[in-house]
């Protein structure tokens, strides 16, 4: 069983819900990303999403765009993200999912990527802009290397597509909470709950909800109906703030710690 599947299995049997933080790899630099990820794992993150920086992040809002640009300004490339993952894996068993646009992966070579990623302890890859047949081809390459293809589902996804996507997906489904780009919003939409309900009808895969989740209240709300909550822009924004103040990993740890008041006692709550 893959690291991702067993993590969800553990959560399920403990009656807990998952927490999936996202950070852009190499923002502000690779060493700091390494320390942030270990701090997140230590706080109880169930899966780490590592963003692969890209010059044209069309599905991202301003916060993650800026963080991508900071990483690119440091010359961070896909091979650095794979190496970062290898270092994380040496110190932690936390599952790692890369979150990337297709072009950097395509230029690296999909077969080579799947081989190198699996060998470096990466567990899954989410390709933001691959759907349908293209996603199926990528999924086949990933699977033959023991990697999960993590797929997005959206409120605009029809039931028919949901079933198709789920059939090609592994690990978990990533439900986009609303039509839109990444970025913190003050409330989650009812569309997310409806989407998760529709996904449950066609698959047994765990469902995580992301896009716009930035407060503990929102996390708890998502935990009521989904298997995990993804928090991205709120953490990335904290990294951005911390850059000028110094001690980035410590500040991020404190921030995420405050986001997760319920982590310690979810076992009894659910």
Q: Which parts of this chain interact with another protein (CB under 8 A)?
A: 54-61, 65, 72, 77-78, 101-108, 128-134, 151-158, 161, 165, 176, 179-181
- Cα–Cα distance list, 21 to 1, 52, 118, 135, 243 (Å): 22, 14, 21, 24, 18
Q: How far apart are CA 247 and CA 8, in angstroms?
A: 32
Please say which residue, 73 or 140, places its beta carbon nearer to another protein: 73
Please say which residue, 113 or 122, places its beta carbon nearer to another protein: 113
Angle formed by the axes of helices 110-119 and 78-91, nearest 10°? 20
* Residues 220-224: contacts with CB under 8 Å, at least 24 apart: 220/262, 221/188, 222/17, 222/177, 222/188, 222/192, 223/17, 223/262, 223/266, 223/270
Please say which residue, 161 or 200, places its beta carbon nearer to another protein: 161
Closest CA to 61 of 174, 180, 178: 180
Please say which residue, 41 or 64, places its beta carbon nearer to another protein: 64
Which residue numbers are catalytic?
49, 60
Q: How far apart are CA 207 and CA 11, in angstroms?
A: 12
Q: How far apart are CA 263 and CA 270, in angstroms?
A: 11
Minimal distance, residue 142 CB to another protein, in Å:
17
């Amino acid at each position: 069983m893959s690291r991702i599947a067993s993590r969800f299995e553990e959560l399920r049997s403990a009656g807990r819900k998952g927490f999936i933080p996202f950070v852009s790899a190499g923002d502000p630099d690779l060493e700091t990303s390494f320390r942030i990820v270990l701090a997140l794992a230590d706080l109880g993150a169930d899966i780490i999403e590592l963003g692969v920086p890209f010059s044209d992040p069309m599905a991202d809002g301003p916060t993650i765009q800026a963080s991508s640009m900071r990483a690119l300004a440091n010359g961070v490339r896909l091979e650095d993200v794979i190496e970062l993952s290898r270092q994380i894996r040496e110190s932690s068993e936390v599952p790692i999912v890369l979150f990337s646009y297709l072009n950097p992966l395509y230029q690296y070579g999909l077969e080579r990527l799947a081989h190198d990623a699996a060998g470096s302890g990466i567990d899954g890859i989410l390709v933001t802009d691959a759907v349908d047949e293209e996603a199926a081809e990528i999924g086949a390459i990933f699977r033959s290397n023991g990697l999960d293809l993590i797929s997005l589902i959206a409120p605009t996804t029809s039931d028919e597509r949901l079933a198709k996507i789920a059939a090609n997906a592994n690990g978990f489904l990533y439900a986009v909470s609303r039509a839109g780009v990444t970025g913190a919003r003050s409330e989650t939409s009812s569309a997310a709950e409806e989407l998760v309900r529709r996904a449950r009808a066609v698959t047994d895969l765990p469902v995580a909800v992301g896009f716009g989740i930035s407060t503990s209240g929102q996390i708890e709300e998502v935990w009521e109906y989904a298997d995990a909550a993804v928090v991205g822009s709120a953490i990335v924004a904290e990294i951005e703030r911390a850059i000028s103040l110094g001690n980035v990993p410590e500040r991020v740890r404190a921030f995420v710690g405050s986001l997760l008041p319920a982590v310690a006692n979810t076992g009894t709550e659910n």
